[in-house]
Chains A and B, each alone.
Chain A
């Protein structure tokens, strides 16, 4: 899987390009843990490059969100469309996670 991040104005945008599922969850968790260990707690996960999301992927997001909130930050999602959005809605997590159409808008939400 490909994961990259860009940090600007105390917000870290993590872009994931691959399925977020049982095969990639360990790698994605390690990446997000490293950001959180560095104190980067205002996170945006750009899901625009994620065609498939399963419960294992949801656990990655939830785990990061738990730690981010513990540090006073948050995890906000961008680019959740189509089937990925359906999974998020079905799980009920759409009620506790803030989602935005684009990573730019998600990042800007931290300063509003």
Chain B
């Protein structure tokens, strides 16, 4: 795996763009095509949006740390926050009719699972780490 790139930002919607640019730059360094970069950007953005909306609910917003490492075979993004623990599980396919009727869509989590190849979560003392892995094809890391 190559060098680890990292960004730490306050957990607010105003940081989402900076995170996306960070991911975009890293994907371009890694030489990924537009569609693969988009998948990674979307998954990271949705995960960070969840942290902004729910992770720090009812508490002072802390930070979001996004670190990214890639090799020839895969790209790994680790997203860490210090808010409420939230262990994601793969959601069912969203129901657009229900969403239109005003029910929570469940789109964000669904997009994460659809856009990357593996999602794992680990809570340690005070920190939550979500790891997203995107397979990039054959090769040695």
Contact = CB atoms under 8 A, between A and B. Distances in A.
Interface of A: 19, 21-23, 26, 52, 54-56, 58-59, 62, 65-66, 69, 83, 86-87, 90-93, 95-96
Contact of A96 (B16, B35, B100): B100
Nearest to A96: B96
Interface of B: 13-14, 16-17, 20, 34-35, 38, 41-42, 45-46, 49, 52, 93-97, 99-102, 105, 107-108, 110-111, 114
A52 B41 contact: yes
Given A55-B111, A58-B107, A66-B102, A93 B96 contact: yes
Given A22-B45, A96-B100, A90 B34 contact: no
Contact of A54 (B14, B42, B93, B95): B42
A87 B111 contact: yes
